Structure 1
Amino acid sequence: MKLWKEAAGLGCKMEGVRWAFGCGPWRPRCSEWLLAARCVQDEERERIGRFIFAKDAKAAMSGRLMIRKLIAEKMKIPWNEIQLKRTIKGKPFLANPVLNIIPNLNFNISHQGDYTVLAAEPILQVGVDIMKTDFPGSTSVAEFFRIMKRQFTDHEWNTIHTAGDEWEKLDIFYRYWETMLDDRHHVAVALGKQDTIGKYPGEVQENINEEPSQFILLTYQDLTSSAITMAPEDPMYWRNFEAKEEKPSRQRKMPV
């Protein structure tokens, strides 16, 4: 489903955005990581540097770059003038005071497994989530399904429970989530009307069904194509990243 909105004062139209970046297989070179670090705000760069594992740092960095690319290209705010803040729940949002003269653009990001994903809409509130087909980390499959009970109809749950062994049940569960990025990663997008949004940006209170949308897979060059550096190069930032282990022995989902 494509949603369009006249861009106030810009004489153009804006449409929904669906982007994905393979943060898991990404093995940044020194020059790539240092350039990425120069293209995010100071507090973002420091926060990313504090991640213990490289996988989480890469996911967070790609998420920040993806948001800035979205705002720079769709809202025409110069990259180095974009100001991002976080809600008390940790969700990033645009804090620039120019929102009264350009169209609002709602966005949300998520990451798990090998991808960071972004969904954005010019009219509706939007939420996005990605899941990788895998066994639950700290609970049984049955308990995981109990927690997720409200996500599907009785008919859908019946299909899940009669699928076969636990792996097959999990695979059907994730397939109900919407778009498949590959044979292991599934993405769900929720849309909400403006008058049903939560207290903070990115919180969707009432879902609107959406037809599955195609996610565009971005490269590192895509992430930085509109970038403007905002800080000097810091070789220590690369050494800090290079010293990190890729991931823990038991990977869990981390906030972006």
Structure 2
Amino acid sequence: MSSTNITARWAFNVNEWNPSDEQYQQVLSFIQPEEKSRINRFHFIEDAKLSLIGRCLMRLLFCKLYKYDWNMIQFSRTGKNKPILVNPKMKDSDPVISFNISHHGDWVVLVASENSLIGVDVMKVELPSNQSLEYFFETLKDRFSDYEWSTITNPNYTQFQQLHQFYQFWCLKESYVKAVGLGLSLDLRSIEFHLSNEEPNLIENPQIIKTKTQLFINNKLQPEWKFVESYLDDLHCVCIAYNVLDHESIINSQTFEKINIEEILNYGKKIILN
């Protein structure tokens, strides 16, 4: 049986990228026209930068690691809006490559694997504008199981710690949902995560990498699903979900590799329409 190989764990801090108009237009020329048009409709430059870098990281993945020509790479989306590679066509002898991106706050992240489903989610720990913690929690409480919610609202936590725990669970759920590509059709309450007593708490130890959280679906353990939880900085939690079909845990404690704009500029090419 083929083994899982996580080939990329990349993170790009868009807050550190302040392009000139010329450089922004140059990077915008690196992506497909329909994606360029979509990004140009964003009202806020911060949102546009997040989406643009996400598209560039996808192209960089196949150009840098799999030696595809930048201009030959073409992506589409599934019915659930998950990006997929449609060109070049994969050969039967090629590994099955799964990839996923996420962006929120200051960060864009990309993960990729061979012979395994994979998903990722990153979230900035913050309250929406003009919302109290009580109101925010009340609007989203029904997405969580009783166990998860009691963990989130631990009375020994400060409100800020409760918010951190909320987003950690949210990243777990979203990374799994994105890995399986089912979008909002899943009942998030049926996807329950149990934290391991064998690992320190990320809230109190944000520098660690957690790998022992377990997934239960409709109260049944799913041992083939593995999760890697960490923080990119003090306010951004991230989780990778991936599937190990032979039930062997091969998680390693690799951190995300930071990608900068110079690497994208080095590989990127203006998209030329045929």
TM-score, normalisation: structure 2: 0.66
Q: Is contact 2:71–2:272 with CA below 8 Å preserved after alignment?
A: no
Distance in 1 of aligned mates of 2:70 and 2:267: 7
Distance, in Å, in 1 between the alignment partners of 2:60 and 2:74 is 13
Q: Look up the match of 2:267.
A: 226
Q: Deviations over 1:96-146 (max 9, x none)?
A: 252124322100001111111111111211110011111255672432562
1:131 maps to 123
Of 138, 142, 161 in structure 2, the residue corresponding to residue 168 of structure 1 is: 161
Deviation at 1:26, TM superposition (A): 2.1
Asked if 2 retains the 8 angstrom alpha-carbon contact of 1:16 and 1:122, the reply is yes
> What letter corresponds to residue 141 of structure 2 in structure 1?
R
Listed as ranges, the gaps of 5+ residues in structure 1 are 6-13, 196-207, 233-256
Question: Structure 2 vs 1, CA of residues 78 and 136 (structure 1 numbering), >3 Å: closer, same or farther?
Answer: same
In structure 2, the CA distance between the partners of 1:161 and 1:212, relative to structure 1 (3 Å rule), is: farther
1:122-179 CA deviation, whole Å, 9 max, x = no partner?
12111100111112556724325623424xx838844752233322211234456511
Higher relative contact order (CA 8 A, sep 6+): 1
SS of equivalent residue, structure 2 residue 76: strand
What's the secondary structure of 1:27's corresponding residue? coil
Alpha-carbon offset, residue 88 of structure 1: 2.1
Give SS of 1:127's match: strand
Give the Cα–Cα distance (whole angstroms) in 1 for the partners of residues 269 and 148 of structure 2.
51
Q: Structure 1 counterpart of 2:116, which letter?
A: L
Aligned match of 1:69: 60
Q: Distance in 2 between matches of 1:210 and 1:170?
A: 27
Q: Give the counterpart letter for 1:143 in structure 2.
A: E
Root-mean-square deviation (Å): 3.1
Query: 1:189 & 1:26 partners in 2: Cα distance?
Result: 24
1-structure distance, mates of 2:73, 2:56: 11
2:239 counterpart of 1:188: yes
The answer to which structure has the higher strand fraction is 2
Name the SS of the counterpart of 1:66 in structure 2. helix
1:194/1:36 CA distance change after superposition, 3 Å: farther
Aligned to 2:79: 88
CA distance in 2, matches of 1:26, 1:75: 26
16-25 or 104-113, larger mean C-alpha shift? 16-25
Q: How much does 1:212 deviate?
A: 5.1
Q: 2:49 aligns with which of 17, 39, 58?
A: 58
Please give the per-residue CA displacement for 1:197-247, whole angstroms capped at 9, x wherever unaligned: xxxxxxxxxxx8955541111110122321222259xxxxxxxxxxxxxxx
Alignment of 1:1-256 (within 5 A): 15-101=6-92, 102-136=94-128, 140-143=135-138, 146-150=141-145, 154=147, 157-158=150-151, 160-174=153-167, 178-192=229-243, 210=251, 213-231=254-272
Between the two proteins, the alignment pairs up a number of residues equal to 209
What whole-Å deviation, never above 9, does each CA across 1:169-193 have from its counterpart, x for those lacking one?
1123445651100000000111135
Q: 1:224 to 1:160 in 2, by over 3 A?
A: farther
Compute the TM-score of the two structures, normalised by the length of structure 1: 0.71
Distance in 1 separating the partners of 2:142 and 2:264:
36
Deviation at 1:4, TM superposition (A): 6.2
State the SS of the aligned residue for 1:181.
Answer: strand
Identity fraction in percent: 31
Which deviates more from structure 2 when the two are superposed, residues 35-44 or residues 57-66? Answer: 35-44
Distance 1:85 1:148 in 2: 29
